[in-house]
A and B are shown apart, each in its own frame.
Chain A
């Protein structure tokens, strides 16, 4: 529980709502310089692990994540400037180009594969693949891909680069993130608005099942 509480601090709290709404429906490609980014991530890897392969469960893995999603996450921390979030201080001194470069750097890294223990019949796998009409849960694969590697059309349109890959992500981080979407009133991007509606019907069991399966699915 303490671990989840710590993660919650990393996420924007409802009281940190500040700044404008960002519409990502027609967002362009991030276009950062991965090489330049490599020189700007020294602080990041302290928590998120070498090359963004976090080992501490409280911190999300960044390696191999899509640049659009990473950039928008970093920009969100800066935009909201939530004093309760430890990320606020880390991004305040970075320029927009820095954020793009950092995003490009981590997107180019390879996610160190976790132990692939995921099974197709796990409750989380079924929820991800089929959803649950009875509970009003839509299938996640529609936007995050059948293999949880990201939006199926991310190669066709830049806006889908802002949908994260979920496979191989830290389980605790996923749980905290989904609860945040479900319980928080804050949604300052168009993608967060989508997730707010989807997470509304996720109960704690569904969230834990999904996170457990995704964390053990190879990236």
Chain B
């Protein structure tokens, strides 16, 4: 795949490019990538075992955190060798892995790419020079060509640290793609030679899909970076970091040529495969000061997103035909999508903290940011010749043939109101807080905050060539099927068309305050209270003011030596001013001068009773309890119960969203040689939605009225149930160490529905014979895995690890029902088949050498 070659070639280059910046950079805060992989899974080298000396020299048997949780037994430190004034430890783990069974399955390869062959389990080198605190380290691992990492650092304690890293991680998306185009991974999808653009039948397309070999789709993320921390003085620390993340691959996407389900044998709904070829460069730099009374933090963050492609072009195999008798459709088969625009982000922040009497602290932060994009805009349509409906058979747009349009009027940026996006969002934030401890057993705190987002500039969709406002719909397909339906408004030719003509600036101002206190009720009991209020003032939303108030209570009790109890409660209330169902009129053609209302009036934007869930009157109650029980000195039992209930007070819209869960975990560490744990967890979620279909495009938005009658109401009840469980044991027998585990993830979701009458359904081809409720087949995702490993020290320098991982997955998704039989249904083409279950086994043999 060319895209992958591009990534692999660019990674070393990217690292070289960032090297010159090293002299200016820092990452005192470390890097943002976890350098681990499915092979390591946090495991130490084969020869490592627990250190019986424990975690601290201060007291014996310090096995638990203050909350009563068992600490993991630390590993034996590596034995250090001398090398010209340096101490070093290094080991290399090299070996072979083999994958068997359904090892090509996409779910098995979801975030890992197992290949059979040689692997670098881990190369780890650490050097340090006690004389001056200098150090250097290197970690590297490679499972397969797209799954590897490299992390290196050097520095001197208290002086500076330089860190560089490189990581490649695959994301397997599908193993059953059968696209009808060539050019997958690029931004130009050309129909395979067996198919003619705009002139193929459904059967011909189906034959091509049936004859195609399944392809694998994946997106590989490659991230490289360099950071520097510099201790300018013991109190001043400078840090900087630069990183680049590249994504490369392809994933399923859309391709619209109007609604095929409304127009059988016509239109086209295509599942294209879009490229993912982009790069994000992130910069961070800052300066921190830590004094006895003052602390300061000054930081600058930036990111620069660059997409390799500006648009995706694709061809449709199907012809379009007009609904108007006796006319013909123009040959429209070239589609396009705009891809993500290049964009820049800058953010500066300054924070100051002052120590106060009463063990207090005052903190203030001010920040400002800017997000901008000014990408060149693509033309509204990618056709040549004409589009629309030819009613006089001339094939030439004219006054006598007004429903046929010249592509030239729309297929260049000259058809836009400006050449580039020129859009920007500016943000400003201010945050302050005060903490005081007026009594030994009482801490009080309070704060105020302010945040503002200002949208700068807006886009007006206007074609100066034709005088139209709005945008051509569905690549011109709608106008080529429904004569005259371009999707645009024109004061002369379509004065009553209602269409979106303007971008909507969602400016937002938020201000809030909080007040809280923590009381120590006894030696080992505490009670906390926090009150918070926030006012959001959004622009161009259904409400101009939204108030959010919450109360949080928490209680911690450790008064019994062997028990830690925690209880938390949050009560939340959201309400606001008058709810306006349509604040967006200014963005539609109905607001333009010259607009002529339709004879039946301007259709209601939506039903008046709708309450969008982010602005609805919401009440929430959230509770959680947890207990950690110390069983003797070597074991823990932890249990938790939690619930979260939300009532949205909406007649139409989201009505309820409730979640609850329990978990139980047992951990046992009888000695540094043995660790074991067992856990089970279960949770449930319930989502209730209510809606109503618009049976008429009329001006009455009232629920129960002629346009939104009660007979068109429908409801969805979504229930999700998840279970997980696991057992793990790790024991050092002396001559060898054994680790074994079993894990289960089982998720099941059911979507049920109810509707008042068939009027509620947008598409009703099948007779329902009086049925008014039902449910879709269960969605299910279940993975069982068993792993077993043996680590065998051979000599003080050599050890061997043998492991086996067996995994079985099952997935049921009703969205794909029927696609096993046919991925082409009329003019609907599905490139990717249903995800499949699998049973796969991975074995490995790794030799660990202490260098």
Contact = CB atoms under 8 A, between A and B. Distances in A.
B54 to A, nearest CB: 8
A25 B234 contact: no
Given A134-B234, A134-B235, A135-B234, A26 B58 contact: no
Contact of A25 (B57, B158, B290): B57
A190 B57 contact: yes
B57 A194 contact: yes
B57 A191 contact: yes
B293 interface: no
A25 B235 contact: no
Interface string A126-141: 0000000111100000
Interface string B147-158: 000000000001
Nearest to B130: A185
A193 B292 CA distance: 29
B57 A159 contact: no
Contacts of B235: 134
Contacts, number: 23
B234 A159 contact: no
A26 B60 contact: yes
Interface of B: 53, 57-61, 158, 234-235, 290, 292
Contacts of A26: 60-61
B276 to A, nearest CB: 47
A194 B61 contact: no
A118 to B, nearest CB: 23
A26 B60 CA distance: 6
Interface of B is mostly: loop
A190 B60 CA distance: 10
Nearest to A197: B57
A63 to B, nearest CB: 28
Interface of A: 23, 25-26, 133-136, 159, 190-191, 193-194
Nearest to A157: B59
Contact of B60 (A25, A135, A136): A25
A35 B137 CA distance: 58
11 contacts: A23-B53, A23-B60, A25-B58, A26-B61, A134-B234, A134-B235, A136-B234, A159-B60, A190-B57, A193-B57, A194-B58
B71 to A, nearest CB: 15
Contacts of B292: 133
A93 to B, nearest CB: 32
A159 B60 CA distance: 9
Given A26-B61, A194-B58, 11 more contacts: A23-B53, A25-B57, A25-B58, A25-B59, A26-B60, A134-B234, A136-B234, A159-B59, A190-B57, A193-B57, A194-B57
B453 to A, nearest CB: 39
B465 to A, nearest CB: 70
A72 to B, nearest CB: 14
A204 B58 CA distance: 26
A112 B292 CA distance: 38
B62 to A, nearest CB: 9
A16 B193 CA distance: 85
A133 B290 CA distance: 10
B79 to A, nearest CB: 15
Q: Which 9 A-B pairs have the closest CB atoms?
A: A25-B60, A26-B60, A134-B234, A190-B57, A194-B57, A193-B57, A25-B59, A134-B235, A25-B57
B777 to A, nearest CB: 61
Contacts of B53: 23
Contacts of A193: 57
A2 B371 CA distance: 70
A133 to B, nearest CB: 8
Nearest to A196: B57
B233 to A, nearest CB: 8
| Residue of A25, A26, A133 most packed against chain B (CB within 10 A) | A25
B714 to A, nearest CB: 64
Contacts of A134: 234-235
B306 to A, nearest CB: 43
A140 to B, nearest CB: 14
B17 to A, nearest CB: 37
A34 B388 CA distance: 111
Nearest to B292: A133
B651 to A, nearest CB: 60
| Residue of A135, A190, A194 most packed against chain B (CB within 10 A) | A190
Contacts of A191: 57
Contacts of B158: 136
A210 to B, nearest CB: 19
Contacts of A194: 57-58
Contacts of A25: 57-61
A23 B61 CA distance: 12
A190 B54 CA distance: 12
A133 B53 CA distance: 28
A45 to B, nearest CB: 33
B523 to A, nearest CB: 15
A216 to B, nearest CB: 26
A133 B355 CA distance: 15
A193 B56 CA distance: 10
Contacts of B290: 133
Nearest to A192: B57
A136 B231 CA distance: 14
| Residue of B57, B58, B61 most packed against chain A (CB within 10 A) | B57
B43 to A, nearest CB: 28
Nearest to A193: B57
A26 B61 CA distance: 9
A135 B235 CA distance: 10
Contacts of B234: 134-136
Contacts of A136: 158, 234
B157 to A, nearest CB: 10
Contacts of B59: 25, 159
B28 to A, nearest CB: 16
A117 to B, nearest CB: 27
B359 to A, nearest CB: 15
A190 B52 CA distance: 13
A131 to B, nearest CB: 11
A134 B53 CA distance: 30
Contacts of A135: 234
B671 to A, nearest CB: 16
A173 to B, nearest CB: 23
A152 to B, nearest CB: 13
A26 B59 CA distance: 7
Nearest to B133: A200
